[in-house]
Every structure is written in structure tokens, then in C-alpha cells.
């Protein structure tokens, strides 16, 4: 038996939270003996099938650092797996996950408190943990380089799209947009400065087809030094904030294309989401996105607004290229599976149980 750190369930599901939630779902389906330790209050948006146990009366990091290890020690100090954040500093029997080390590479993107906390905690917990999970070979190399952790204790276990009602290949290739429907481009991510949305809006403003709109979908967080995008909003650029999965899937399916202009990623989930719904993707030409998407996307220099404009124009105008990217995307997403990722987690956990 092992325990999963359930602090992630207190927050709305973004990429790292989805990683934790979907792996827990698959472990439950596999019949694995585990439960998720949680604070008293969790986000009501999760539909939970796996076993949860409430413990402690604290919240946020205080719960993770005080309530959680106290509970674990009271039940015999079982193996703890944390799929987000860090895990407790004063607990030895654990596996942690580091999705990326963007706070080390670019501390200016984060609040000072966020940077100080993870700069202190992450390497210390990483050194004492039995193993460290991460989501790409790029992130593995970054963790070794910035945190000085032993490469042999870092295990790559991929993320995947969280959507379950995925269209078939035939449905994607035969889908036809209503010719009278709104024509738009989609960009999906939290409002984090590394997502590079200011340059995206600048590039979008220069495209040739002025009938096309841009939707940037995602939440803002206090941890990020988020640029003020509101001043860039006009009748063609919209920030709807967080939207539920069902609405997001419809947005992907009806979009002309997606753009993910991020400056730094450990994995990069939105391009795979885009491929799942037959939406041709433009990605930043950065290592993690090239590793995850391979030849199934069009790539841009994320620092070059003109290059971004050229590539958006190119993909809007070239239907044959959009169809080629759809076909490549359908092949690319076959490489990622929650079943495979959950099995890898369980096999690793068995070494330390």
C-alpha cells in the first residue's frame, strides 16, 4: 500500500493537476492498493472514484509540511507519492515529481515567495526522495543541471491529454466547420509570463485575415508575475478565463488552428490536446515541445513576432498543410497513454513499498 499526496485536489485542474488526477484514476482502475490523503476542503470540480482520507486541519503548504507527514507517521510511515509540488521536507519514505525547473531558469517569471520556497525545498526533498518523476527527457536533463540530482534516480513518465470522449480518426478527418461559424485561433494555458502571450497578440494583430479572432483560454495565478494582457484586448482578442473541459474540447474542434508560443516547458500539454481534436498546432521551437510533438506541429521562434505572424498566415492559408498536420497529430498522440504512465508509476512504487 502507498499514499498519494492529495493537496493538488484543492486547486482547479491545470496541466500538473490533471497529471496527478489521471494517474490516480488509472491506478484505481488497475486495482492498486493506495489512497489519496487530502485536506478538509478540496475543489468540487473533481469527480473522484478513488479512495480519499481527510487528515489534519491545516491548508496549503502548511497541510503538506505538517498535517500530511503527521498523518503518514500515524499509519506506519508508508510510501508517499507526490505528483505535484514537492512533498513534505520532514518525511523520508517518498517519491516526488518535478515537472520542470522554470523557477530556477527564469526566477523573474515568478513571485519572490514562490521562487524562494521551491528554490529551497525542491533540491532538498529531491535528494532525500527514493526517486523523482518527471515528464520528458528535456526536464530530466534540466533537473540534473540545475538541482544537481543523480540522473539515475530520475524517471520519465509522460503526461497525456485528460479528455476521455475523444473523437475517432474518421470523425476528425471528416469534420467540417459551419462556413458561417466564427473563425478563430485558440491558445490555451495559464496566464504565466513564460507562455509568451504578449508576443502572440502582437503577432496576431499583424495577420492578413482580419476576420479571424484569437481566444486565449486559461486562469491567472498569484504565483506568476503575469503580464497585463488586458490592455492588449480588442474586438478580435478575447480572454474568457477558465472554461470547463467540454467547452474547451468544442473550442479546439472548431478552431482554425492553435498556437502555443511558450518560452519554456517541461512537457507542454496543449499541443497534444490540440492534436486530439484535429486542430493543427503551431508550437515554439523549444526542446520540450519538439520532443513531445515531433513532426506533428509547425514551429516558430518564440522571440520573433514576425516569424509568428508568418507561420500563422501560412497555416491559415494552406488547407493541405493543415490536413497534413492533423494526420501527423493523430499518429503522434498514440505515443501517450495514461495506462502506460500509471503502470510505470506502480512498477516504480513496488521497489520501495
Tell me the average pLDDT across 284-305.
97
Look at residue 223 in the predicted model and tell me its pLDDT: 47
Give the start-to-end residue ranges of the domains of the chain.
2-160+337-350, 169-335
Tell me the average pLDDT across 25-36.
98
Q: Which CATH architecture has domain 2-160+337-350?
A: 3-Layer(aba) Sandwich (3.40)
pLDDT grade, residue 1 (50/70/90)? very high
Look at residue 237 in the predicted model and tell me its pLDDT: 93
pLDDT tens-digit series, residues 178-228: 888 899 999 998 888 889 999 999 999 999 999 999 999 987 655 444 556
Top mean pLDDT of 170-174, 204-208, 228-232 is at: 204-208
CATH 3.40.50.2000 for the 169-335 domain, yes or no? yes
Q: Is the pTM of this model over 0.85?
A: yes
pLDDT grade, residue 59 (50/70/90)? confident
**What is the CA angle 293-294-299, rounded to 5?**
80
Equal fold, 2-160+337-350 vs 169-335: yes
| Listed range (12-16, 209-213, 222-226, 281-285) with the worst mean pLDDT | 222-226
Amino acid at each position: 500500500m502507498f499514499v498519494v499526496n492529495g493537496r493538488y485536489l484543492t486547486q482547479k485542474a491545470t496541466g500538473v493537476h490533471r497529471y496527478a488526477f489521471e494517474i490516480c484514476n488509472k491506478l484505481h482502475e488497475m486495482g492498486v492498493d493506495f489512497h489519496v490523503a487530502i485536506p478538509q476542503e478540496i475543489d468540487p470540480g473533481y469527480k473522484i472514484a478513488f479512495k480519499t482520507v481527510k487528515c489534519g486541519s491545516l491548508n496549503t503548504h502548511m497541510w503538506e509540511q505538517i498535517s500530511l507527514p503527521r498523518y503518514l507517521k500515524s499509519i506506519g510511515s508508508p510510501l508517499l507519492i507526490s505528483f505535484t509540488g514537492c512533498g513534505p521536507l520532514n518525511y523520508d519514505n517518498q517519491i516526488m515529481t518535478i515537472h520542470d525547473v522554470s523557477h530556477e531558469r527564469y526566477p523573474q517569471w515568478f513571485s519572490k515567495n514562490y521562487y524562494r520556497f521551491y528554490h529551497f525545498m525542491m533540491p532538498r526533498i529531491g535528494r532525500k526522495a527514493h526517486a523523482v518523476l518527471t515528464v520528458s527527457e528535456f526536464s530530466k536533463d534540466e533537473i540534473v543541471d540545475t538541482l544537481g540530482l543523480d540522473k539515475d534516480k530520475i524517471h520519465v513518465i509522460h503526461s497525456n491529454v485528460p479528455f476521455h470522449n475523444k473523437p475517432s480518426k474518421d470523425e476528425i478527418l471528416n469534420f467540417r466547420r459551419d462556413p458561417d461559424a466564427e473563425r478563430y485561433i485558440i491558445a490555451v494555458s495559464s496566464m504565466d509570463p513564460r507562455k509568451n502571450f504578449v508576443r502572440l497578440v502582437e503577432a496576431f494583430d499583424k495577420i492578413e485575415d482580419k476576420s479571424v479572432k484569437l481566444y486565449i483560454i486559461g486562469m491567472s495565478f498569484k504565483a506568476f508575475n503575469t503580464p497585463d494582457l488586458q490592455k492588449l484586448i480588442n474586438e478580435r482578442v478575447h480572454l474568457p478565463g477558465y472554461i470547463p473541459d467540454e467547452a474547451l474540447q468544442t473550442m479546439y474542434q472548431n478552431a482554425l488552428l492553435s498556437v502555443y508560443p511558450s518560452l519554456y516547458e517541461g512537457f507542454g500539454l496543449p499541443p497534444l490536446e490540440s492534436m486530439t481534436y484535429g486542430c493543427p498546432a503551431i508550437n515554439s521551437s523549444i526542446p520540450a515541445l519538439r520532443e513531445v510533438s515531433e513532426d506533428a506541429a509547425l514551429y516558430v521562434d518564440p522571440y520573433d513576432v514576425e516569424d509568428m505572424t508568418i507561420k500563422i498566415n501560412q497555416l491559415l492559408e494552406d488547407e493541405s498543410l493543415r490536413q497534413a498536420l492533423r494526420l501527423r497529430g493523430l499518429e503522434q498522440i498514440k505515443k501517450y497513454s495514461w495506462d502506460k504512465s500509471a503502470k510505470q508509476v506502480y512498477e516504480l512504487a513496488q521497489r520501495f513499498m
